[in-house]
């Protein structure tokens, strides 16, 4: 059983590596910091999905659920004092500046998956690849019964 757990953990590590690399490849040639800055408005609403902000257009659409927590948004962005924003200072997204020199490797896997699911447009081949990972996951979880929270969360995300 111990061997099995070790193998399970290893496979999970591999999957995490694949997901990070996948996201990295999709961001290229931009740095993660540039990618965050370009998607600042969308990322803001992945956390605050209840109403329009200073940068919203005429008919904004918001994610049905807040998929990232405030603590996660704060990891990605530094909120500047709202001084240059005049349109809607109560909910301002334009004052969020991407964390300087932020590396993708420092971001937890749940956040990586949230970014992929919401900001990356997948082509057929990439879709197939993610389906393949999902299939492998199904096979692993068929054997694995773990109450590890990270693992459970990781799998829940892949169910979507």
Can residue 66 be called a binding residue for Zn ion (CB under 5 A)? no
The structure tokens listed for 7 are 């193998």
Q: Which of 94, 119, 120, 129 binds Zn ion (CB under 5 A)?
A: 94
Listed in sequence order, the residues at least 6 apart from 111 whose beta carbon sits closer than 8 Å to its beta carbon are: 68, 72, 75, 76
Q: Which of 36, 43, 46, 54 binds Zn ion (CB under 5 A)?
A: 54
Q: How far is the CB of 157 from Zn ion (least distance, A)?
A: 25
Q: Which of 23, 36, 73, 92 binds Zn ion (CB under 5 A)?
A: 92
Structural contact between residues 117 and 64, judged by C-beta atoms closer than 8 angstroms: no
Q: How far is the CB of 65 from Zn ion (least distance, A)?
A: 16
Q: At what angle do helices 2-27 and 124-143 cross, to 10 degrees?
A: 160
The structure tokens listed for 62 are 């918001």
- Mark the segment that binds Zn ion (CB under 5 A) among 14-22, 89-97, 98-106, 134-142: 89-97
Q: How far is the CB of 34 from Zn ion (least distance, A)?
A: 20
CB atoms within 10 A of CB 36: 21
Distance CA 156, CA 116 (A): 15
Can residue 53 be called a binding residue for Zn ion (CB under 5 A)? yes
Q: How far is the CB of 81 from Zn ion (least distance, A)?
A: 11
Listed in sequence order, the residues at least 6 apart from 103 whose beta carbon sits closer than 8 Å to its beta carbon are: 32
Q: Which of 11, 18, 75, 85 binds Zn ion (CB under 5 A)?
A: 85
Can residue 73 be called a binding residue for Zn ion (CB under 5 A)? no
User: Which residue ranges make up the site for Zn ion (CB under 5 A)?
Assistant: 53-56, 85, 92, 94
């Amino acid at each position: 059983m111990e061997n099995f757990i070790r193998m399970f953990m290893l496979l999970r590590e591999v999957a995490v590596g694949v997901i990070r690399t996948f996201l990295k490849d999709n961001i290229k040639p931009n740095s993660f910091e540039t990618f965050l800055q370009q998607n600042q408005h969308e990322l803001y609403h992945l956390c605050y999905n209840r109403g329009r902000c200073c940068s919203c257009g005429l008919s904004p659409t918001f994610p049905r659920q807040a998929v990232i927590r405030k603590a996660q948004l704060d990891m990605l962005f530094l909120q500047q004092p709202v001084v240059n924003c005049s349109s809607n200072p109560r909910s301002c997204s334009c004052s969020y500046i991407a964390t300087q020199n932020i590396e993708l490797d420092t971001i937890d896997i749940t956040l990586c998956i949230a970014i992929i699911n919401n900001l990356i447009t997948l082509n057929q081949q990439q879709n197939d690849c993610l389906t393949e990972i999902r299939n492998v996951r199904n096979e692993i979880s068929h054997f694995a019964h773990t109450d590890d929270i990270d693992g459970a969360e990781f799998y829940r995300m892949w169910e979507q």
